[in-house]
Amino acid sequence: MADYHFVYKDVEGTSTQWDDIQRKLGNLPPKPAAFKPPPFTPSQDEDSKSKDKAWIDERTEEELEDLEDDPDLDDDRFLEEYRKRRLTEMRETARVPRFGSVVPITGADFVREVSQAPPEIWVVVFLYKEGIPECGVLSQCLEELATRYPGTKFVKIISTDCIPNYPDRNLPTLLVYNNSAVKGTYVGLHHFGSRRCTPEAVALALCQSDPVLDDGQKGSDSSRKTVLEGVRKRFIEKLVTQHEDDEDDYSSD
């Protein structure tokens, strides 16, 4: 008859009191570390369940293109449509040039910066001279408009650098260019309310016949409507502020 031996093995990492004494005496090797399972890492399938609008918004244009054949998005019509819309928005934003300030140029720069600007770009040229108060007033308005409408290119040039012997009495002057042609000329500040000139008054004058101002998002076709809405909003805000100031003055009396 075969002789069977049963060997008992305790849970890995456990130790008897006798073993502990022997380890202290150096008769046994150090106690092995207790077993720890590896940290849980979600699988790719579980990670894909977290895809939502916020996840799409964090993706780059290249990553959104790579998601075209993603099976998770194929099963979610809303997310796939949102991916396409987000990709279109990113491409449109990249396509529209953004300026955002009134850039000083010289006579040598004029052809490159103005005449040779792309046909879809409207360019507002500010002719000025330092020390003329009306130029300072208009300059402040144009700086605000350049920030508000970064799709439109604003440049400024000393008048006589642009047109030799240009008379100071005609300053400030605005020239509006599009597709290498002059589309508008505004000589003097009276077009915009003289010294009471505001950015809204300048914006309305510029957009009177052409969609000159472009916010870089909605496109040039809606610029006049956008300007009008902005003027109305700021007019209401100004009335509310004046009303509050009048009430404060009355209560203080």
pLDDT given at position 12 = 55
Banded model confidence at residue 47, pLDDT cuts 50, 70, 90? very low
Tell how strand 173-178 and strand 181-187 pair up.
antiparallel
Specify the 3-state DSSP secondary structure of 141: helix
Q: What is the 3-state secondary structure (H, E, C) of 162-207?
A: HCCCCCHHHCCEEEEEECCEEEEEEECCHHHCHHHCCHHHHHHHHC
Lowest mean pLDDT, pick from 90-104, 115-129, 130-144 = 90-104
Residue 96's Cβ-count burial label (10 Å; 0-12, 13-18, 19+) is middle
List the one residue out of 89, 99, 91, 88 whose CA is nearest residue 213: 99
Whether pTM > 0.75 for this model: the answer is no
Banded model confidence at residue 45, pLDDT cuts 50, 70, 90? very low
Query: Taking 60 as the threshold, does the pLDDT of residue 218 lie above it?
Result: no
Banded model confidence at residue 44, pLDDT cuts 50, 70, 90? very low
| Mean pLDDT computed over every residue of the chain | 79
136 Cβ neighbours under 8 A, 6+ residues apart: none
E strands of the chain, at which residues? Answer: 102-104, 122-128, 153-158, 173-178, 181-187
Question: What architecture is the 102-234 domain classified under in CATH?
Answer: 3-Layer(aba) Sandwich (3.40)
What is the pLDDT averaged over residues 206-229? 71
Lowest mean pLDDT, pick from 120-134, 179-193, 203-217 = 203-217
CATH 3.40.30.10 positions along the chain are: 102-234
237-250 confidence digits (pLDDT tens): 767 776 666 666 55
Banded model confidence at residue 46, pLDDT cuts 50, 70, 90? very low
Question: Which has more confidence, 93 or 51?
Answer: 51
What is the pLDDT averaged over residues 47-74? 68
